[in-house]
Amino acid sequence: MKILITGGAGFLGQRLAKRLLARGTLDGQPVTELLLLDVARPADAHLLADPRVRAETGDIAERAVLERCIDGETRAIFHLAAIVSGQAEAEFDLGMRINLDASRTLLEVCRASGHAPRVVFTSSVAVYGGVLPDIVQDDTALNPQTSYGTQKAIAELLLCDYSRRGFVDGRVLRLPTISVRPGKPNAAASSFASGIIREPLNGERSVCPVDGDTRLWLLSPKSAVDALIAGCEIDRAEFGMRPIINLPGLSVSVNEMVAALREVAGDEVVSRIDWQRDERIAKIVASWPGAWDTSRAQQLGLTGDRSFADVIRAYIEEMRG
């Protein structure tokens, strides 16, 4: 089985790649070729050394690049490449080009291939916005308040229609905010949701740009990768008329995140958080749901994390390992 991961050099892409290689199979078939497409090659030399891995670089919005990576043998595509929320808000045209046009071109290349490959799109809490119920339901209307959320919502609609028409076998997984991400801060409005844990644990100071009672909907990197694989393996027939799943998350306030950090790592670590409200970020984050109903995901066998303290412990363990 040939698999493509767009955004394959990204944090989630590399992680997914390693898991797929370690499993050796997807949907019961052996993983024979794993294509990682991104603007740069993955940093992980270990990953690149695997004979099944092929790294391709290029601009995903160019059709020729996607045509080089998708052929009649490509059975599954994980489309993770994206311009993150903060950057898509600052650079409108770039966000449209990558989050919308590249997603559409990917679907078009799949359509032209004629064999309806499985396509897993990742979407986001950012498709919601405006006045929201405490717990967003599967049938709550999308009302994105950012260009990133708009572009993701449009890509969802395209994927659903291309699936309905049989051009692809698509599924949309709406991810909670991923935390704790390793590495450096990025331009996502949600970057702080990892930063206020990661940096203090590293002995560095970190700014929290939102109020402590801001409620977030979080998923650990490990659970995100689990969900991507499980979401890809679910049989199409189980989706019914709507191949979209809101993945299970943890609904925690920023204060509760900090309390979990204190529980796991102590007062000194917590004291490295600086509270400096940033209106631009606070406004974007406040427009996202703090929780959504996960019964559909659970029916399909998708689960999340147990507690945020556990997520922090798993992060620490991984960093040590």
What residues are annotated to the active site?
Answer: 148
- Least Cβ distance, residue 143 to its own copies (angstroms): 6
Question: At closest approach, how far in Å is the CB of 139 from its own copies?
Answer: 5
Residue 278's nearest CA partner among 216, 191, 152, 164 is 191
Closest separation between CB of residue 239 and its own copies, Å?
11
CB 33 within 8 A of CB 3: yes
Nearer residue to its own copies within complex by CB, 115 or 165: 165
Q: How far apart are CA 297 and CA 16, in angstroms?
A: 20
Least Cβ distance, residue 265 to its own copies (angstroms): 39
- 224 to 102, 179, 193, 220, 305: CA distances (angstroms): 23, 10, 15, 6, 10
Question: Which residues pair with residue 89 across a beta bridge?
Answer: none
Q: Decide whether 167 or 315 has the Cβ nearer to its own copies.
A: 167
Choice between 48 and 300, CB closer to its own copies: 300
- Cβ pair 8, 80 in contact under 8 A: yes
CA distance 123 to 242: 14
Contact 85, 148 (CB under 8 A): yes
Q: Which residues bind its own copies (CB under 8 A)?
A: 92, 129-131, 138-145, 147, 150, 153-154, 157-158, 160-161, 164-165, 240-242
E strand spans, 17-79: 25-26, 29-30, 33-38, 53-57, 74-79
Nearer residue to its own copies within complex by CB, 14 or 146: 146
